[in-house]
Structure 1
């Protein structure tokens, strides 16, 4: 692959912008030789402004989403892409969130350019669990676990019942809930149906992949195959 196309696909700029970078000598090989528009070096032999290139597709990252950011570039205001390298939003194929966390929800957000992986993780038929920690406005009453686990709860405005969800009580106003679906504001609406109000929501795991303790809000890391395999597991 020509270097211009390689860098453009990785989001380092449009083809015109990449060509400008190359004319300025921003791309070199590992020995420091300046690379040009006619070069087709191996991906792993290129440095851009002295740094190794981002991995090629497929790329999957784990991002610790803070509150106040949306997951879509089409939404007004601050988005998760504001906290990531600008080139991540320009990759081809695009690096997309694996299911969206709403603006006020924090925690584990996977992003990938692997369409098959994205479908595998968000499709309800694959039963990939997503686990959240919930803070509530009022104390739990004791009936919530049975209600959520019944498989009979129908949310307001819908006609299909939710799949059974698991609830673990963590405190008077705190719980951990695991679901296999991703309906609109599902957990907030579930607790509303139980007569309560969610004041804080944090995703802590996808499959068996947990949010790392050492990853602060706004930080991200590239996932290897072993970590991706954990995310697929129920």
Structure 2
């Protein structure tokens, strides 16, 4: 766990509690204590783990969050619409560096997504070499033909516009038009394109888990710090 040593106003601004210019006012309004002693000097250098605000410990220096993403929410900082970051506490939206999603889910896709301000972690988990398992519940427009699992498991399926075949994917049938699909890649619209390649269309897509992180205990729109 990080425990940086820097000015009080630097701690507060990097974690989104206030800007540096607002720090003096913040210290007057809120009881900011270091080792039990109230602090009013924004220049005072302290360790992150020693700071308490109104009897509550500071947010972590690096933050990673698991969210149950609702439909209609956009995984972007810049696009028009309801952005995923708007579902988080206001101060988390002001953190520096910014929180970013680890990969993306389409606007109409629901389920497990991670957000972090740890750039190294984000890069590691989105790298093509990461081999992170993602489990999806897929609802289809047409009943299954029966050969989809064999095709997906074979490791020979080449998506339109691609040159290399996909890695093997596991499919479990839930009903004639609902399946669980486990993939370890993250190509653009991969699940939708996989079913398009076998003559079907995805009508609803829900990510049940990302790696070891499942949202089974999170309601739609809820999140938790990892």
TM-score under structure 1 length normalisation? 0.86
Aligned-residue RMSD, C-alpha: 1.9
Give 3-state SS (helix, strand or coil) of 1:67's partner.
Answer: coil
Asked whether the equivalents of residues 26 and 34 of structure 1 are also in contact (C-alpha less than 8 Å), the reply is no
Select which of 100, 105, 111 maps to 2:109. 105
Alignment of 1:216 with 2:222, yes or no, is no
Query: 2:7 aligned to 2, 6, 11, which one?
Result: 2
Secondary structure of the equivalent of 2:49? Answer: helix
> More strand by proportion, 1 or 2?
2
* CA deviation after TM superposition for structure 1 residue 64, in Å: 1.1
How many positions carry a matched residue from both structures?
220
Alignment of 1:49-88 (within 5 A): 51-57=56-62, 59-88=63-92
Q: Any idea what the Cα deviations from partners look like across 1:16-52, whole Å, max 9, x if unmatched?
A: 2334323x33242174735331333332333335543
- Decide which moves more: 45-54 or 127-136: 45-54
Equivalent residue number for residue 228 of structure 1: none
Question: What SS is found at the alignment partner of 2:38?
Answer: coil
Answer yes or no: is the 8 Å Cα contact 2:13–2:20 preserved in 1: yes
> Which segment drifts farther, 64-73 or 27-36?
27-36
Runs of 4+ in 1 over 6 A off after TM superposition: none
Say if 2:87 is the partner of 1:90.
no
CA deviation profile, 1:42-67 (whole Å, cap 9, x unmatched)? 3233333554321112x211111111
Map of 1:229 onto structure 2: none
| TM-score (normalizing by structure 2) | 0.89
Stretches of structure 1 lacking an aligned partner (at least 5 in a row): 224-234
Deviating more after overlay: 186-195 vs 13-22? 13-22
1:156 corresponds to:
160
The answer on 1:140 being equivalent to 2:144 is: yes
**Does the aligned pair in 1 maintain the 2:66–2:213 contact within 8 Å?**
no
